C-alpha cells in the first residue's frame, strides 16, 4: 500500500468512524509501537550519525512529533539529541513560521510578528526549540527561523531587511552558503522550506510566478518593542507544493538518504544537492507548477 493510499484510508476512516472508536484505535496504535517499535533518546544520535549528520554540520530540521510513535522521550530529548550530534561547533536550525496555509491569507489578518512571543506553527518540536536556552530567532514576519550553535547570529542577521521571505541573504540562502544539510523527521518533502529559497532564486528562469507582484504591509516588533512595517512580496497562493518530481530526481542522483528508528522515517539531504536537482528540473519545466484556478 502506497503512502498516498494509506493517507486516503486514514482520511476516510476519520470521517466515518465514531470518536470513541477512533480514540480506541489510536491507543492500540500507540501501545503497538511502545511494545514492538520503541526507541530511546540514546538511539537518535546513533541513527543520525549513521545517516550522515556530522559534528560541525549546519542542519535544518523539519519534524512532526506525533510521528515519534514508540519514542521514550519528549521534544526536549529530540532537541538535545540533535545538538549532541552537530556538537558545539555545529548549528541547528528550525523554521518557525507563524501560520499554516498561504502567506497571503495570513497577511489579510494583519498580524504583528514578535520574535519573542509569536508561536511557531511548524510543529511542537519547533515551538519547544525556539524557547530553549541559547536559541535565537530571526526577525521576519512570515518566515522566521530559530537557530542554535556556532553560526546562529550570522545566520539570522539581516532577515528583517529582506523584501521577500526566503531570498539569498536570508537564513534559507545561508543554509546553502554553509553547505548545510536538511533533516526530515517524520515529515514529507513538501515541508522543506529550503525549496522556497530555491524557487525564489530560480524565479527569473521559471515560467510560473513564484512571488506575488503585489506587496503586503507586514508588521513586526523590533527588539525594543517598536512596531515596524515591511512591504513584502509573498509566495503565490497558487503554487503547487507537490515535491514528487524533486524526490524522484534526488533518488535518481543517489542524493536521498533514508533510515528508520522504530517506525520513524528520517531523511537527510544536502542543500546543495537539493538546489542542483531542482535547477535541473526547472530546465525541463518540472520544478514549480501552478494549481489550476477553480
| pLDDT per position as a tens digit, 15-47 | 666 776 556 556 655 655 665 679 999 999 999
Q: Which whole-number Å values give the CA distances from 93 to 87, 171, 210, 217, 255, in the listed order?
A: 13, 9, 24, 27, 21
DSSP string, 220-260: EE-TTS-EEEEEEEEE-TTEE---HHHHHHHHHTT--EEEE
pLDDT value for 288? 87
Instruction: Say if residues 136 and 153 touch (Cβ distance below 8 Å).
Output: yes
Residue 110 has pLDDT above 50, yes or no: yes
Q: Cell numbers 509501537 label which residue?
A: 33
> Do the bridges between strand 91-95 and strand 145-149 make them parallel or antiparallel, or are there none, so unpaired?
antiparallel
Bridge partners for 35 per DSSP: none
Q: Which of 35-44, 157-166, 231-240 has the lowest mean pLDDT?
A: 35-44
Kindly state the DSSP code that residue 186 receives in the 8-state scheme.
S
SS3 257: strand
User: What ranges do the domains of the chain cover?
Assistant: 1-36, 39-290
pLDDT > 70: percent of the chain? 88
**Is there a contact between 180 and 59 (Cβ–Cβ < 8 Å)?**
yes
- pLDDT tens figures, 59-95: 999 999 999 999 999 999 999 999 999 999 999 999 9
Q: In angstroms, rounded to a whole number, what is the distance separating the alpha carbons of residues 25 and 205?
A: 49
pTM: 0.89
Instruction: Taking residues 96-122, report their average pLDDT.
Output: 97
Average pLDDT, the chain: 91
Amino acid at each position: 500500500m502506497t503512502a498516498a493510499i494509506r493517507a486516503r484510508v486514514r482520511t476516510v476512516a476519520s470521517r466515518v468512524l465514531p470518536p470513541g472508536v477512533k480514540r480506541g484505535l489510536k491507543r492500540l496504535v500507540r501501545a503497538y509501537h511502545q511494545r514492538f517499535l520503541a526507541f530511546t533518546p540514546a538511539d537518535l544520535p546513533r541513527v543520525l550519525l549513521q545517516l550522515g549528520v556530522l559534528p560541525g554540520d549546519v542542519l535544518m530540521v523539519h519534524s512532526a512529533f506525533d510521528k515519534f510513535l514508540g519514542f521514550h522521550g519528549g521534544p526536549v530529548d529530540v532537541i538535545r539529541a540533535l545538538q549532541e550530534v552537530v556538537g558545539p561547533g555545529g548549528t541547528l536550525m528550525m523554521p518557525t513560521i507563524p501560520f499554516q496555509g498561504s502567506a497571503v491569507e495570513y497577511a489579510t489578518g494583519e498580524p504583528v510578528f514578535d520574535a519573542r512571543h509569536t508561536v511557531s506553527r511548524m510543529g511542537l518540536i519547533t515551538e519547544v526549540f525556539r524557547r530553549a536556552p541559547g536559541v535565537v530567532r530571526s526577525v521576519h514576519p512570515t518566515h522566521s527561523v530559530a537557530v542554535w550553535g556556532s553560526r546562529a547570529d550570522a545566520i539570522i542577521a539581516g532577515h528583517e531587511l529582506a523584501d521577500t521571505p526566503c531570498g539569498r541573504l536570508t537564513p534559507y540562502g545561508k543554509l546553502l552558503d554553509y553547505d548545510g544539510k536538511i533533516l526530515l523527521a517524520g515529515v514529507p518533502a513538501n515541508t522543506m522550506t529550503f525549496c522556497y529559497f530555491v524557487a525564489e532564486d530560480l524565479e527569473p528562469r521559471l515560467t510560473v510566478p513564484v512571488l506575488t507582484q503585489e506587496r503586503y504591509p507586514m508588521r513586526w516588533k523590533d527588539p525594543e518593542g517598536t512596531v515596524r512595517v515591511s512591504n513584502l512580496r509573498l509566495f503565490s497562493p497558487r503554487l503547487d507544493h507537490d515535491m514528487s518530481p524533486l524526490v524522484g530526481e534526488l533518488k535518481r542522483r543517489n542524493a536521498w538518504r533514508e533510515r528508520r528508528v522504530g517506525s520513524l522515517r528520517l531523511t537527510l539531504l544536502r542543500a546543495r544537492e537539493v538546489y542542483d536537482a531542482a535547477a535541473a528540473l526547472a530546465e525541463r519545466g518540472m520544478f514549480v507548477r501552478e494549481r489550476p484556478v477553480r
